[in-house]
């Protein structure tokens, strides 16, 4: 069976200076699974997500993405960092969507979506442009390709950002609080695109405060606090019947 679209994490640890932000994290995401990570701010959920894309480097532990050790290769006694080129190649297979969208303001929506395929993969520009238009249409932004990010609303920008990640044909999509920076009325349009993506069988890891989305779309759910995974399991079960006191008190506050 192909390991594409899977994530395996064992005993992942990460600290910033004296502060340990990830303590012995284990995580398994199967191909096509949607996994939501919830928890209070500072719980390490964003850091965990950023490790899976190489924006942060874990101090120790195993991290396999698409079946390969991510960012490192293993020898008998150590993990050796991959060259930037090889790391970049692994990154192209994991899409990342940021809280602040991070679209390139010097490029149009279409150019943003084309940027990965053209600049990184060296794809033909005409083909990439046509594909970008398709992707923009698929996130409901048909005809917006010529606009610059500053001319788009937050919800539209986030959908362009999703299209930009999808243009690389990743096996896994990571979402770091994708709706937290949006006006409340724009949240729905982004979640709709994400639901659509989940339906198509994309492996997704979503750090979110949208409990409704977690309940409706997510397969598994992780509740993190102070660098630990406090509770994990089927999304609806955890949300409906949390076993841990800490989970219960968090859910009482946010629901």
Partner 1 sequence: MGSLDATLKPRLRVRTPSEYAGWILSILIGIGILTSVLTNPNFKWGIVGKYFFAESILRGLMLTIFLTIASMVMGTLLGLALAIMRSSHVKPVSIAANIYINLFRGTPVLVQLIFWFNVSALYPNLMIGIPFTDIGTAVDVNTLMGPITAALVGLTLNEAAYMAEIIRGGFSAVGKGQIEAADSLGMSAGMRMRKVIIPQAMPSIIPATGNQVIGMFKGTSLVSVLGVAELLQSAQLIYARTFETIPLLIVASLWYLVMTLLLSYPQSKLEKRYSRATSTLPRKAKKVVLIEQEEGSLR
Residues at the contact surface with partner 1, assessed by CB under 8 A: 53-55, 84-85, 88-89, 91-92, 94-96, 98, 100, 102-108, 110-111, 114-116, 118-120, 125-126, 129, 145-146, 148-151, 161, 164-165, 168
Long-range CB contacts (within 8 A, 24+) of 180-187: 180/99, 180/209, 181/99, 181/100, 181/101, 181/154, 182/154, 182/155, 182/158, 183/153, 183/154, 183/155, 186/153, 186/154, 186/155, 186/158, 187/155
* Alpha-carbon gap, residue 42 to 6, rounded angstroms: 26
Question: Least CB distance from residue 113 to partner 1, whole Å?
Answer: 11
The nearest distance, CB 104 to partner 1, in angstroms, is 6
Least distance in Å: CB of 91 to partner 1? Answer: 4
- Residue 117 or 242 having the CB closest to partner 1: 117
Least Cβ distance, residue 15 to partner 1 (angstroms): 19
Distances (CA, A) of 72 to 5, 69, 95: 18, 6, 19
Closer residue to partner 1 in complex, CB, 85/253: 85
103 vs 239 by CB, closer to partner 1: 103
> 118 or 193, CB closer to partner 1?
118
Least distance (Å) from partner 1 to the CB of residue 48?
Answer: 15
Residue 107 or 211 with smaller CB distance to partner 1: 107
Q: Directed axis angle between helix 184-199 and helix 154-166, to 10°?
A: 20
Q: What is the 3-state secondary structure (H, E, C) of 77-113?
A: CCEEECCHHHHHHHHCCEEEECCCCCCCCCCCHHHHH
Q: Reduce the DSSP state of residue 116 to 3 states and report it.
A: helix
Pick 23 or 102: Cβ nearer partner 1? 102
From the CB of 211, what's the least distance to partner 1, in Å?
A: 26
Q: What are phi and psi of 19, to 5 degrees?
A: -90, 120
């Amino acid at each position: 069976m192909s390991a594409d679209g899977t994530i395996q994490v064992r005993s992942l640890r990460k600290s910033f200076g004296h502060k340990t932000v990830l303590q012995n994290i284990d995580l398994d995401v199967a191909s096509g699974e949607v996994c939501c990570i919830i928890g209070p701010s500072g719980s390490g959920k964003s850091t965990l997500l950023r490790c899976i894309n190489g924006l942060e480097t874990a101090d120790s532990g195993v991290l396999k993405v698409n079946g390969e050790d991510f960012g490192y290769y293993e020898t008998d006694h150590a993990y050796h960092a991959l060259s930037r080129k090889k790391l970049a190649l692994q990154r192209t297979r994991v899409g990342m969507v940021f809280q602040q969208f991070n679209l390139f303001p010097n490029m149009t929506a279409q150019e943003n979506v084309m940027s990965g395929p053209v600049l990184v993969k060296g794809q033909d520009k005409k083909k990439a442009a046509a594909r970008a238009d398709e992707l923009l249409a698929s996130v409901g932004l048909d005809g917006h390709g010529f606009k610059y990010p500053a001319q788009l609303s937050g919800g539209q920008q986030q959908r362009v950002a999703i299209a930009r990640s999808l243009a690389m044909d990743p096996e896994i999509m990571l979402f770091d609080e994708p709706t937290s920076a949006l006006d409340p009325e724009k949240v729905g349009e982004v979640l709709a695109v994400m639901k659509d993506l989940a339906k198509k069988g994309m492996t997704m890891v979503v750090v979110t405060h949208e409990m409704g989305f977690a309940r409706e779309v997510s397969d598994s759910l992780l509740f993190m606090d102070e660098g630990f995974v406090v509770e994990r399991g089927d999304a609806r079960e955890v949300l409906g019947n949390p076993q841990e006191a800490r989970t219960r008190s968090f859910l009482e506050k946010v629901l």
